[in-house]
Each structure stands twice: as structure tokens, then as C-alpha cells.
Structure 1
Amino acid sequence: MNGQQQRQTELITIIALKAQNQPLQGSGLWFHNDIRDNFYYASYLFAAAVNAETQVILDNPSDAKKTAEAVLAKVLKLLQGNPEQPLYGHFPLHLNPSPEQARPHELPVELMGSLMAYFYTRCENELSEELKEAFKTALKHIYLGGFYRKPLQLFNHHEAKYTAAKIIFGQRFEDRELLEDGIASLKRTMERVTTLGMPEYGALPWFWHWVQAFTCAWELATEPAVKKQLADLLDYLWQERSLFYLKGAWAGAHSRGWPHDAPADRNVLHDYVQFGDFPLGEAMPRTEYAGFLCYPAPEDARRRALNRVKPVEVKKQIIKIDTGEEIPLHSYAYVTKDYAAGGIWERVKEFDNEQIRWMVSFPVTADNSVNQLYFFHPGEGYRDGDHRHQSDYAEVLYDKNRILTIFPVPEHAEQQEIIGVLPKGTWLQEEAGLFGQVQNCFIAILLKGSYSMKEHDEYHQVRLLGQPAAVAVEVWGREQAEELGMNSLSALVERFRTASLTLEPEAKLTYMGVSSPTILELTCNLIQ
């Protein structure tokens, strides 16, 4: 058993114990907020119960198996199996006030349907006859329902799952036309992302939906040529991941994310299985199938991710096509063994306005604490405590370990304050700004404007007000800092004793005595 397989067994064990200790509701399910969590937890509990290596951790493996089968059976019964009804072949998503009243929803079957095909194939011999027949019936309804029969347009995570499902169900039901459609869609997807980039840059958990869907198809594929095409795409996906990887963190800009993606990287299970170079914390907001599915990343991707000896700059162009027109975006990340910094040059309004323009990332820690640092002006969708929704009012400059931002917030804007999120650490407040030590790094944050800082349970929040406000963030690993004579936080403060951040006429930024062109002009020059 290799390291990846050992970590998968570890996940199966941990999640199976969570399932065993989770009380069932009156419906016979564990969760009503999302039907998929019932399927995932039951899968892990079943897998642990039927494996001699893992069943020893359960109180009663036989009872655990029966519980898992009972939950799986109840999930399958919630499938819309009437071809005459809307959303035939679909499951409900949210089950309150009762599962029986819940209506089918288009999302759950996208990922869960393919994973059900995988689970049935892997565990068929251990299933009871009744549950085996229930799975066969459900998979037939899912196939006939055809949720995947949609054209490729946006090359997003939804369409990635449709493509994988075409291959999985086309093969399973010997539907050659569907399988060929899936193969053609796979080829187009590969051409699109390798030439124009992934439009959902840094988007979690949707990137993992790509990985899960295509790994599932790869595991089930029987034709060598199809398996090779799937392997090529998975190689690309893990190469992409390795570029922005730092011990469980995802560096740089994020086009979308859930609250557990910012300001803390907590969607880490696939990274943990693949790389295993950071401690696994208690928080597991997306258990999904990381414990079952793992395509080994190419060796050069693993070396890049795990052996960050020298800092590297990652520059990419991405073409967005959401609006029907091609919009070029440019991302930048500076990745070292202790931290990463970077973002995206252009502001673009993403779905639900969840773009995070830039951040400084630190390795994931065992307590799943906040490991991201960034400042932003709140925009549409913002509410206190949700740090994903930013406005248009920011101009940025990225230069290795330094990020500069001007916030030209107009007077008519409802929200005037800039919000900053800082990880827990040691922070000193000075007139010029904030100086801190986080993990193995020193950070200087020069601020233009008046500011205050408040400590929360998981992070420090900064409120900055200026006309306009500006922020300069500079970060060093301990070795870098010591080379510059900064071997302590007090030495860092002393180095910046006379530093200031000022804004000159025509929005020119002066930093450490150097006057730049306007940030927008400099941005255009750098990305050409």
C-alpha cells in the first residue's frame, strides 16, 4: 500500500467513525440540508464495514453495514423514477421539512450519479440483493433521465461532469452514440483548457468536481484509448494544481468559492491524499469521494508541489467566455516554501460576485485556522463575516513578495471602508501600518488611511478608511528575512520605521521612496 492509499484508508476510517457516531433523524437519514452528504457518509461507513483492515475500528461492523445500506436505500428511493414527471432521473437537494416532500433538483445527480456508478461497481459483491437491485434501477433511471445531454459551451465544472457522465453511462449501458459524444466532449475540453486556460481559476470546490468526475470515469473506463485520454486530462489538472499548491493552500486569485474556501483553505482532502505534506485537521466540509478516488499526479507535478526549494513565478492567461465574448484575464503567483502571494490583474464579475482578487497564502495547519491574508472593498453580496464578495474599486500591482492595491472608492458608494483579513499570529500596530509574524513568515503591511483592528475567534479583521485608501503588503520567509537583517518582529518594525505609503497626483503610488506610474499603467506594461 503506497502513501496515497494509506491516506485514503485514513480518510475512510475517520469519516466512517463520524458516520457511526452521527445520530439518524426520524427520516432514517443523517442530514436534511444536503442529500449528498448522506450518500457520502454511507459510502464511507459501508467501505469501512466490509474491509477487514478498517472494520476493526467500528463498534459493530455488521450493524454498521446494515446502517449504511439502510441510508443508501433511502437515498435511492428519493430518486424521481417517473419518466412522465419533471426532472426524471434526479434527486432532491435539500430535504427539509421532510424528504418525502422534497422536490427533485438538477444539482445532486451531476456528481452523485457518476459516483453511484463507481460505488456500485466497486462494492457490488458486498451489497445485499435488495440494495443491489435498487442501485441497478436507480442507475437505469439516471441514464434514461439524461442529465448529461447538454452541449459544451462554457467549459465549466457542470459541463466537465456531463462529459464524464457521458463516458460512464455510455459505457455502462452500451450506448455507443453516447460514449462517442463523451469522447468528443473530452477531446474538446482538453483542447480548450490547454490552450485558453480553465475559466474557473482557483475555483473550489468546483476544481475538485473536475478531478472527481474524470477520475471516476478513468477508474471505470475499459477502452485503453479512452482511458489514455482521461489520463491526459487528469495529468493536466494535477499539473495545474501543483502550480498553485503550497502545503494544502491554493495560492492566488479565486474566481469562486464557498465560505470554507476563504479566508481558510479547508477543502483539502484531495490534496491530503495526493500530497500528504500538511496535517489533516478536524474540519471536513466536503468529504465527497476523496477517500475512494485518486489518480496519481505526474511525478514532475508532485516534485513541483512538494519540493519548493526556490521561489517561482507563475504567470497565466485565461480566456473568459461567460458573457459570450472572449475576455482575457492574467493571473500571477509567487510561490515559495513558506508562503505564496498573487492574484489576478483584471477585475471581472464572477458568478455570485465571488471573485477574490488577490491573497497571501500560508500553509494549512492542523487546526484548520485562517491561512489567507487579503484586503478588499466590499461589493454585491457582502455581509459581515463573509469575505468573498468584492467590489470593482481596486487597482492592483503584483511583484514577487509584494502586493500593492489602491482602492478608489467613489463618494457615493454605500460602503466606504476597506476590509482586511489577517491570520492569527503576532501583530503589532504602528502608525504606518501593521507588522506581524505568521507561521514561519514576517509580514509588513503599510496602510494609507486610518485603520483599526479587531480580533475574532479565527482571524484579525482590519477596517481601513482613506480617500482613497491604499495597502502595500510585503512578506518574507524567515530565511529571507534573516538575510535582510530581520531576525525578529522588532527588527522588522525598525526596518520600516521611516517607511510610508503615499498617493501622489494622478494616482501615482510611492512605496519605500520609489514613485511608480499609475497602477493601471504599470499593470498593462507588465502583462504584455
Structure 2
Amino acid sequence: MTTYEQRQREIIRRIAIKAQKQPLLGSGLWFHHDIRDNFYYAAYLFAASVDPDLSVPFDKELTLASSSQMLLKVLKLQDRDPDSPTYGHWPLGLGPVPKEAKPNTLPVELMGSLMVYFYRDHQEHMSQPLQAAFENAFEHMYKSRFYAKEIREFNHHEAKYTAAKLIFGQMFRDYELVEDGHRSLVRTLRHIRENGMREYGALPWFWHWVQAFTAAWELVEDVDINRDLSDMLDYLWHERSLYYLRGAWAGPHARSLPHDAPKDGNVLFDYVQFGDFPLPDEMPRTEFAGFLYYEAPEDVSRNALDRSIPLEAARYAVLGGGAAGEESRRIHKYVYITEDYAAGGAWERVREYDNEQHRWDVTLPIGRGQSINQLYFFHPGEGYAELDPRHESDIGEVLFRKNVVIALYPLPEGEESRIVGVLPKGEWIREPNALFGFVDRVYLAVRLLRPCQVEELADRDAAESRGGPNGVVVEAIGRADAERLCIGSLQEFAAVMREREPEFAADATRAFYRSLAADEELELSRGTDGGYQASVNGEAVSFARYEV
């Protein structure tokens, strides 16, 4: 058995045990918040129950029956009325009475293709009623033509539609649909190669791309299409490797759910592919990581796993322009990755879906127990809530230079103006305008324009700085680099960094800092035209160097 198969079986076992212990609701389902979780948990429990070599602490015969019943309950909630506008769809949220829940377009997008994949590999263990229920559901999905969408946005929805065209076209021998799916695939791959992914580092959307196209790659038998699917998956895993650090997703996020920031939690596909971090207890996005697998190219895996030589990864993505008259713009992504930490983010502020852009952070590998693994600050914006450090405002300018992040927040004067931040648990020295820390193998220096208050929480330190215009300078240094600078303790690090105080303009329109690790002069300032300019050693930082 290969190592990736061992990791998948570990996931199957862990989720199956959770599913077996999950109490049933009055409806007979496990969850009402999202129908897909019922399908995913039931699929894992079913798979564990029919695997003779998988050791589990429950009666497999009983759980095979219960998981089969759960799958039947999910399948029966499909809208089977051909005259319905939601024909072929399932509800998403099930409410108090699942039978009365309104169908939603989302579940079938991803769950439909995964159902086909699951059925292919497990149908021999299914009862006749369950087999018939799956086949009936497939026919309704195919006839509904939910996938018959024009490619315009090059987003995760259309990626899943493309995969569904290929999968259902082959299943029902609709070769015109297969050809349509192939054209969509080739067009999508060409677009993202030329323009980057508009959902830059989006979680969980990125994994929806991976799941949909991996399922198609597994199921489609046409050699030419399969080769193009391999090219797509190679591209996706290369993109993932650029921001990978032992399970963490460094750099910018187009979308961050609560389990993505300030702690990377959507890690199961990374665990199966790379396996260089412990499988966490909490698994918020189970989906199909325990079943689907596409081996990343050797150079991609090597680059992701070997961070002994620091790497600067710089890309851009074209956003917008998908609809007629919609203006397109570029967002530049940057991350500097070492074996112990990463730093970077998005140069430009973009208002994404639900205002969830995660602009910048210093990222540590996962596997830190309960502690978060990200350090960042921001000005709260629309959707922000206490104890949920996401949803920032449009106010903020940044400069990224290897291990240093400079951020300016030209806020109005007043006690109500504030920035908030999060710090991973570790050893910290707190001063009014500075925080010096040693976390795992990394020294961290955080300097602010205004005083900062810190509250210790169970999994993080929560920071807040009030009073008006503000700025933050963060420098991270690995222990090995610190030792080369004759720094052997947090106290020595703090003493050295106190000699390198950043210079802030009182209105937060300028910050100047001489970095310790590279001994470079970094400046971020507002020009006469109102725009912000970044410079390194007096030379302007041009976005052109990031258009690679």
C-alpha cells in the first residue's frame, strides 16, 4: 500500500468513527446546516464498513446498514419534478423539516460528480434499492442540464460544470455534451495559464477545482480529454505548491472562512498529497479527500516539500472582465517562504465575495496544537465581528519584501479608529508600541505607530491598537538566521530590534524601516498624486516584476 493510500485510509477511519458517533436528528439525518455533510459522512462510514482490512471500533455490518440508509435519505431529497425550475437539485440548508426545504443550485455542482465517483467504486457493496436510488439520481441530474452553463467567469462554479459535462456526457453516451465539456476544459486551462486564477488562493473554492477535475480524470476514458485533465491538475497543484508550507496556505486568500484564518484548517487534500504534517483532530472540510487522488508532478512535490532555500513566489491574477462591460484589473500576489515561516499577501485591496479577502500575514506551519498559525493586523470592515478576525475595510496599504511586511492604515483621528490583530501563542515580550516573540523556530518583531493592548485567549493573543492613523511593521527571522546574526535568545533579539525602530509619519502616510535580515532600507509612502509608493534602497518597487 502506498503512503498516500495509507493517509487516505487514516482519513476514512477518522471520519467514519465520527460519523458512527454522530447523533441522529429527528429527521433521521445527522446535519441540517448543509446536506452535503450528510452525504460525505455517510460515504466515509460506508467505505470503512466495506473495507475488510480497516480496523474500526464498531460493528461494520450495522454501520453498513445505517450508512446505506443515510445515503438513501439524502438521495430522496432531490427534486425529481421535470417541470420544476430546480429539477435535479437538492436543498442546501435543510431547516427544521428537510422535506420542506427549498432546493439550491449549490449541492449538485460538487456533490453530483462526487456521487458518480463514489458509486463507481462502491456499487458492488450496495443493496439493490441503494443502487437504483443512485442511478435514478444520476438520470435526474443529467436530464436537468444543471451543467449547461456558458464559460464566462472562469470560476469554481464553471470548473465544476465543466467536469460535470464530461462525467455525465460519458455516463449517458452524450458525445455532444462530452465535446462541449472538452472545449470548456481547454478554454478554461488556456485562460488561467494566461490570466491566473481570479479566485487567487481561494479556500474552499480551490479545492472544488481539484475535486471536480480529479473526479473527471478518474472517470473519463477518452485519452485526449484525460491528457488535458492531467494538464489542468498539474497546473492546479503547481499553483498550490507556490503557497504551501507544511499544510499552511501562505500569502493572500481571495476567500477565508473561519477555519482558514487565523488558523489553516482546510488541510485534508494537502495531507494526502504531501503528508509532511500531522493530521489534525478537527477536520472542517471533509469532502472527498479520503477518496480522490491525483499525484502531483515530481517537481511540484519537491518544491512544496523542500523549503531549505527561501523562495519568492510572485504571480498576478486578472479579476473581472467576465461580464460584458465589466472592467478587468490585476491583483499581484507575493509570498516569501522559508522552511520555518512565510510572509506576504496581496498588493491590492479587492472587495471579494462576502468581503473575505485576507490581505497579508506571516504564516507558520500547521501542527501547533490549539494555537493559531497566522500573525496579521487589519482595519475592521463590513461583516467584521469580535472573535472572528476577518472582513477588513478598504483602508490599508502594504509593502512586502521577503521577511518584512509594512502596512499603513491612514485612519481618521479618534479613539474609535482602531486596527486589530492576532498573534500565535509563544514566548512574547510586550512593550507599548512593540511585541517581540519567539514562536517555534521563528523570532517575530511587531512594531506599531500607536500603543497596542493584548488579550490572551486560549488559542491566540488578540491585539488592538486605537486612537487614529496607524501602521505596522513585522519582521520574521528563523532561528538559524538569527544565530548567524549572533542572536541566541528572545531577549537578545528584542535588544537588537530596539535599535532598529521604524519611522512612522503621524498621519500614517509614510513608514521607513531598515530590515535586520537583509539590511535593506524599505519605505512605503503616499505620493503627491495620492497613491502609495513602495521603495527598496531608494528604488521604486514596480509591479511589473511580479507579472510572471
Normalised TM-score (structure 1):
0.97
Query: Quick check: 1:527 aligned with 2:528?
Result: no
Secondary structure of the corresponding residue to residue 26 of structure 1 = coil
Alignment partners' CA distance in 1, 2:284 and 2:512: 43
1:85-132 Cα deviation digits (max 9, x unpaired): 220000011112111111111111110000011111111111100110
Q: Which runs of 4+ in 1 moved over 6 A?
A: none
* 517 and 215 in structure 1: CA distance in 2 versus 1, 3 angstrom threshold: closer
* TM-fit CA distance, 1:499: 3.3
Cα shift readout 1:282-321 (whole Å, capped 9, x = no counterpart): 1100100000001001100000011111001001111101
Structure-2 residue corresponding to 1:35: 35
Query: Contact 1:266/1:368 (CA < 8 Å) preserved in 2?
Result: no
Pairing 1:479–2:480 present: yes
Aligned to 2:65: 66
Partner Cα distance (1:517, 1:200) in 2: 27
Q: How does 1:338-357 map to 2 (within 5 A)?
A: 338-357=340-359
Give how far 1:418 is off: 0.3
Deviations 1:351-392 (A, max 9, x none): 111111111100001635310111100111111122220111
Moved more, 449-458 or 394-403: 449-458
Shift of 1:502: 2.6
SS at match of 2:461: strand
Residues 73-112 of structure 1: pairs in structure 2 closer than 5 A: 73-112=72-111
Distance 2:473 2:505 in 1: 15
Structure 2 vs 1, CA of residues 28 and 517 (structure 1 numbering), >3 Å: closer, same or farther?
Answer: closer
Contact kept? 2:250, 2:344, Cα under 8 Å: yes
Contact 1:256/1:355, CA 8 A, preserved across alignment: yes
Structure 2 CA distance, aligned partners of 1:282 and 1:429?
Answer: 32
**1:143: Cα distance to partner?**
0.8
Residues 312-361 of structure 1 deviation map (CA, whole Å, 9 limit, x = unaligned): 10011111016721101111100000000001111111111111111110
2:437 match: secondary structure: strand
Same amino acid, percent of matched pairs:
51
TM superposition shift of 1:525: 3.1
Q: Which residue of 2 aligns with 1:201?
A: 200
Q: What is the match of residue 243 of structure 2?
A: 244
**2:101 is aligned with what amino acid?**
A
The CA deviation at 1:500 is 2.4
Amino acid in the other structure paired with 2:216: A
Number of the residue aligned with 2:518? none
State the SS of the aligned residue for 2:348.
Answer: coil
Paired residues of 1:263 and 1:387 also in contact (CA < 8 A):
yes
Aligned partner of 1:140 in structure 2 is: 139
Spell out, residue by residue over 1:447-487, the C-alpha distance to the aligned partner (whole angstroms, 9 max, x if none).
Answer: 11121011112111111125421100000111011111221
Across the two proteins, how many residue pairs are aligned to each other? 526
In the alignment, is the contact (CA less than 8 A) between 2:421 and 2:463 conserved in 1? Answer: yes
Q: Which runs of 5+ in 1 are unaligned?
A: none
Q: Match of 1:261, SS?
A: coil
Q: Is the 8 A contact 1:451 1:462 kept in 2?
A: yes
Instruction: Say if 1:410 and 1:505 are closer, same or farther in 2 by CA, change over 3 A.
Output: closer
Q: Aligned Cα RMSD in Å?
A: 1.6
CA distance change for structure 1 residues 132 and 517 in 2, over 3 Å: closer, same or farther? closer
User: How far apart, in 2, do the equivalents of 1:409 and 1:332 lie?
Assistant: 25
- Quote the Cα distance in structure 2 between the aligned partners of 1:114 and 1:100: 23
Change (3 A) 1:37 1:527: same
Counterpart for residue 447 of structure 1: 448
User: After superposition, where does 1:221-236 map in structure 2 within 5 Å?
Assistant: 221-236=220-235
C-alpha distance in 1 between matches for 2:247 and 2:394: 29
**TM-score of the superposition, structure 2-length normalised?**
0.93
Whole-Å separation in 2 of the counterparts to 1:101 and 1:379: 36
Q: Which amino acid aligns with 2:344?
A: G
Distance of 2:443 and 2:252 partners within structure 1: 22
User: CA deviation digits over 1:20-78, x for unaligned, max 9?
Assistant: 11122222211111110110011001111111111x31421111100010000000000
Q: Which amino acid aligns with 1:474?
A: E
Amino acid at match of 1:352: D
CA distance in 1, matches of 2:522, 2:289: 49
Provide the C-alpha distance between the structure 2 equivalents of 1:439 and 1:178, rounded to a whole number of angstroms. 53
CA contact (8 A) 1:33 1:95 kept: yes
Please give the secondary structure, in 1, of the residue aligned with 2:96: coil
- The aligned residue for residue 424 of structure 2 is 423
Q: Work out the CA distance in 1 between the residues paired with 2:523 and 2:159.
A: 43
Cα distance in structure 2, aligned partners of 1:305 and 1:517 = 31
What residue is the counterpart of 2:295 in the other structure?
296
Q: Deviations over 1:404-454 (max 9, x none)?
A: 011011359x95110011111111112440000111101001111121011
Structure-2 separation of matches of 1:500 and 1:311: 25
TM-superposition CA deviations, 1:240-283 (whole Å, max 9, x none) = 10110000000001111211110000000000000000011111
Look up the SS of the partner of 2:173 in the other structure.
coil
Q: Within 5 Å, give how 1:276-291 maps onto structure 2.
A: 276-291=275-290
Alignment of structure 1 residues 308-387 onto 2, 5 Å = 308-321=307-320, 324-365=326-367, 367=369, 369-387=371-389
In 2, Cα distance between equivalents of 1:444 and 1:251: 19
- What is the aligned partner in structure 2 of residue 490 from structure 1? 491
> 2:92 touches 2:106 (CA, 8 Å); kept in 1?
yes
Q: CA-to-partner distance for each residue in 1:172-194, whole Å, 9 max, x for gaps? A: 11111111111000001100111
Secondary structure of 1:511's partner? Answer: strand
Q: Secondary structure at the match of 1:416?
A: strand
Q: Within 1, Cα distance between the matches of 2:432 and 2:65?
A: 64
Structure 1: which amino acid aligns with 2:429? L
Native 8 Å contact 2:416 2:466 kept in 1? no
Q: Hey, what's the Cα distance between the residues in 1 that align with 2:101 and 2:356?
A: 28
Equivalent pair of 1:58/1:64 in contact (CA under 8 Å): no
Judged with a 3 Å threshold, the aligned counterparts in structure 2 of structure 1 residues 499 and 50 are, in CA distance, closer, same or farther, namely: same
Distance 1:195 1:77 in 2: 43
Query: Which region of structure 1 is more displaced relative to structure 2, 322-331 or 299-308?
Result: 322-331
Alpha-carbon contact 2:408-2:510 (below 8 Å) kept: no
Determine helix, strand or coil for the equivalent of 2:302.
helix
